[in-house]
Structure formats: C-alpha cells, structure tokens
Structure 1
Amino acid sequence: METKQQSLSSEIELTADGSHTLFVPSMNEHYHSVNGAKTEAEHIYINYGLRESCASTLHVLEIGFGTGLNAFLTLIEAQKLQKKTIYTSLELYPLPLEKVQKLNYPDVIYPEFASLYYNLHRATWNEPCEITPDFSLLKVNIDFTHIPHPNESAKWSLGKSGNQFVSYDVVYFDAFAPEKQPEMWNQELFDAIYASMSHKGILTTYCAKGVIRRMLQSSGFTVERLPGPPGKREVLRAIKL
C-alpha cells in the first residue's frame, strides 16, 4: 500500500493538565480536550476500554492515530502489565516528525519511555513493527471511509493483517467530531467494526451524541453512557455480546 503524503496544518496548544494538543484552524477543531489531553485519553480509552478487557493477548484497533497519545498510553500499560498487545491504528493525515518532536508527552507523562514515544512515530507505515517485546504496532495510512473488505489478496483490511485474520478486543474510536467529519460516523462503518470485533469486545468513544449511540446499537452493540472526563458530561462504551 502506497503511503499518502498528507497532513493537516495544526498548531500546538497547552491543555489544562499540562499536556499538549493540536488545533486545526481549517476545521476549528482540537485533537483532544482542552480540559486535559492526557486526562481525557486515559479516562476514555485506557480506563473504560483497555483495562476492562479480559483478553489474554490484546488486539487493539484505533481510529485516528493523530499525535500517538493513545498508542503511547497503551504501550505504557502493556509494559506495566507485561501483556502482549497488538495495536493497529488508522490515519489518513500522519503528522510530520518535526511537529511530533515539539509535543511534550514524553516529558509530562513518562520521561523514562520518551524514546518509545518517538519510536511509535518513526515506525514504518503499513508494516507491522515491534516496538517492545510486549507491544507491536501497525500504522495504516488509509481513508477509514474507504476500508477495503477482507479478502485473500489484500495485505490489510479491517479484520485482516498480512496472512492473519484478527478479531479486535478493544476499539478506540477517536476520529474528529461528527459535525467536523460526518463521513467518519456512519452505520456502514460501525457495522464493519462490529463484525471485526471479538466476543465481549469493547469500543469506547468520547462522542455521546444520541445519533451515534443509536447507530452503535443498530450495529448490535450493547451501549452504555459513562461519566466523562473534565469538561465532558458523558462518553460512550459499546460492547459486543
């Protein structure tokens, strides 16, 4: 798969918990909550998603690699738990390394893992990369709205990597907001995610809009509203039962 050389023009901003986020002027949108980027990511994706999975080997799918914050926090959790984690992240607009190097996540989160954060970004796109013995990463440079259907010849498609078919235990749905990228939030895509997940697989997202909750339910998920991080009343967790 050929890597698309695309990026969104963005500005670095400091959030309330001291961690950075990016602001995209053309979309009038932030990558994370201004009330705390690290706090939001840990609350929604690590606490409500990753830590709730009982899978012995975790297969994680992330919609939106972005700054790599979710991947970095997941890598750290895998290190702590010594739990094998296979992480797949989909991103159409990879950040240039010079922008990544200005983000303060290694300094304010886990300085001892700084080199691993940069290794996540240096990892080759569209090829599986072992970051640590417990954490492997596949970054796929793709338009999520044009996900190829699984077939024998595709090197990667939703639920297939190389010659292996996989079922995702945890899904981080972290695309830009529905009002900014409505094409990312539709029934067909949620149906495809549901079909690619394992029994008792968990999907978490910051978006608690009723229309999103109903689409997830239509796909077959059992959906619950949970208390959100600072600045957000509720988030959603969807489980495939």
Structure 2
Amino acid sequence: MDTVTLQVTDDGSHTLFNAALNETYHSHQGALAESRYVFIDAGLAENLKTFTAPAILEVGFGTGLNALLTLGYIQALNQQRQAANQPVLQVHYLSIEPFPLARPLLERLNYKQLLAPCYAPLFDALHDAPWEQATEIIPGFWLTKCQNTLQQQPLPAQQFSLVYFDAFAPHKQPEVWQRENFAKCYQALQPQGMLVSYCANGQFKRDLKAVGFTVKAYPGALGKREMTRAWR
C-alpha cells in the first residue's frame, strides 16, 4: 500500500497515514495512549469483570496495536494466575481487516522499542500468524485474522463478549458505520457483552440504541470529551 506512510504521534509512538482516505490509523495525540485507554482500560479490563473466558471481535486489525496490547495484558494476567496455581484465561480473538498492511511497513513501527521487552516477541507472533486460521499465540490466547469486511464476515450468534469497533471514522468509511453492521455486532455478542469505540458520533450512538444496545457516556481519550461504551 504505497499510499500509507509512517507518522509520529504526540506520545512518541507511530501511527500510519492513509493518503487515499486522508486519515491516520490512530489519534495524532498518541497511538499507544489512545489504544490502551479505549480498548484495554475502558474495554477489556471492564469486560473481564463479567467474563472469565473473553472472546473478542475486532473491526479493523490495522497495525495490530489493539491486539498487541490485549495480548500483553492477558499474558501478564496469566502469569499472575499461574503463580497463584490458577488456570490461565482462555481468550479467542477474531480480527477483521480487508486491507492487511505489508510486513516491511509494520516492521518500521516503533511499538517494540517503546513497550516492555516482552512485547517484541508478541508483536512478531501476531504478524507472523497466518490469515484465516486460528493460531495459539501464547498458551490460552487464540488469534484468527480474517481478510474480509464486517459486512461479509460470517459471525455466529452470541459468540463474543467484547467488540473493539476501530474502523476509520464514519465520514471516511461510511459503509462500515451502517446500522446493519451494529445489529450484526449486537447479535454476535453474548448477553452483557460490550462494544467499545473511540468514536462518540451522535448518529453512531443513536444507531447502537436502535438495534438494542444500552449506551453509556464515558470520558474520551487524550482530552476528547467522550468515547462510546455499549452493552447488550
């Protein structure tokens, strides 16, 4: 993808700029900080209060940053559990990405340099994992990457406990932010399952409510007024 170039965000971490969409993959104010706040702190950590065997659906694999931070978080939890003679968490992670990034471009990202050393092998394992195939990245963590759109991806009913909705902004990819797609996510979630997104667009929240979600206001990342958390 020669229209995609590297940029440095305010927290020093890299994002990518897609010239065809005139859009970056993450916030200019901090790629790592945004991903950690929205998807880990406000999403995964909250979801684990209800689900002990989380199944995560990600809309937009992108640079793999959300998956990487999720994997690191689960690995740390499992190390604590093993030290306490408890079984490891069993996690299934399905990520949908219609336009996978080339490995040479991914290798230029500085996540391995900025994060703790334990993340470097996790980054490589995530990106080395084959597409369209469930791969156990670490004990108990299964990743499936699908080169597909949300519209076309089959999703079994009540399979997931958490949805990371991380597509490009609604005015950049309106086809992804259709009410039918939110209904599809709703049907794929287990009762009490949760959807999180950096986006707090009013129409987005109205459409989530229209298909059955309970939407609650939550402070946004990096000075943004709001992000979205919604439950089935």
Structure 1 and Structure 2 fold alike (TM over 0.5): yes
Matched, 1:73 2:69: yes
Q: How far off is 1:177 after superposition?
A: 0.4
Correspondence list, 1:16-31, <5 A: 16-31=10-25
Q: What is the CA–CA distance in structure 1 between the aligned matches of 2:73 and 2:141, rounded to whole Å?
A: 10
Match of 1:177 in 2: 169
Matched, 1:194 2:186: yes
Asked if 1 retains the 8 angstrom alpha-carbon contact of 2:72 and 2:122, the reply is: no
Matched, 1:55 2:51: yes
Correspondence list, 1:1-241, <5 A: 7=1, 9-53=3-47, 54-82=50-78, 83-147=89-153, 157-159=154-156, 167-240=159-232
Instruction: Report percent identity of matched pairs.
Output: 42
Asked if 2 retains the 8 angstrom alpha-carbon contact of 1:35 and 1:231, the reply is: no
Q: How far off is 1:146 after superposition?
A: 2.4
Q: Which runs of 5+ in 1 are unaligned?
A: 1-6, 148-156, 160-164
Instruction: Please say which of residues 80-89 and 58-67 is displaced more in the overlay.
Output: 80-89
* Matched position secondary structure for 2:151: helix
Could you list the per-position Cα deviations for residues 182-218 of structure 1 after superposition, in whole angstroms to 9, with x for gaps in the alignment? 0000111100110010111010001101100000001
Q: What is the CA–CA distance in structure 2 between the aligned matches of 1:166 and 1:201, rounded to whole Å?
A: 9
Q: What TM-score comes out, normalization by structure 1 length?
A: 0.88
Q: What is the CA–CA distance in structure 2 between the aligned matches of 1:175 and 1:14, rounded to whole Å?
A: 20
Instruction: Please say which of residues 36-45 and 104-113 is displaced more in the overlay.
Output: 104-113
For 1:11, give the aligned amino acid: T
* Matched position secondary structure for 2:118: helix
Q: How large is the Cα RMSD of the aligned pairs?
A: 1.2
Asked if 1 retains the 8 angstrom alpha-carbon contact of 2:165 and 2:195, the reply is: yes
* Matched position secondary structure for 2:34: helix
Q: What is the CA–CA distance in structure 1 between the aligned matches of 2:117 and 2:68, rounded to whole Å?
A: 12
Asked if 2 retains the 8 angstrom alpha-carbon contact of 1:78 and 1:84, the reply is: no
Q: How far off is 1:84 after superposition?
A: 2.0
Q: How far off is 1:111 after superposition?
A: 2.1
Q: What is the CA–CA distance in structure 1 between the aligned matches of 2:13 and 2:113, rounded to whole Å?
A: 9
Match of 1:153 in 2: none
Could you list the per-position Cα deviations for residues 38-74 of structure 1 after superposition, in whole angstroms to 9, with x for gaps in the alignment? 1101111111110111211110000000000000000
Q: Which runs of 5+ in 2 are unaligned?
A: 79-88
* Matched position secondary structure for 2:175: helix
Q: What is the CA–CA distance in structure 2 between the aligned matches of 1:213 and 1:137, rounded to whole Å?
A: 29
Could you list the per-position Cα deviations for residues 54-105 of structure 1 after superposition, in whole angstroms to 9, with x for gaps in the alignment? 2111100000000000000000111111122110000001011101110011
Asked if 2 retains the 8 angstrom alpha-carbon contact of 1:60 and 1:87, the reply is: yes
Q: How far off is 1:113 after superposition?
A: 2.1
Asked if 1 retains the 8 angstrom alpha-carbon contact of 2:134 and 2:143, the reply is: yes
* Matched position secondary structure for 1:107: helix
Alignment size in residue pairs? 220
Q: What is the CA–CA distance in structure 1 between the aligned matches of 2:62 and 2:105, rounded to whole Å?
A: 11
Instruction: Please say which of residues 65-74 and 221-230 is displaced more in the overlay.
Output: 221-230
Q: What TM-score comes out, normalization by structure 2 length?
A: 0.92
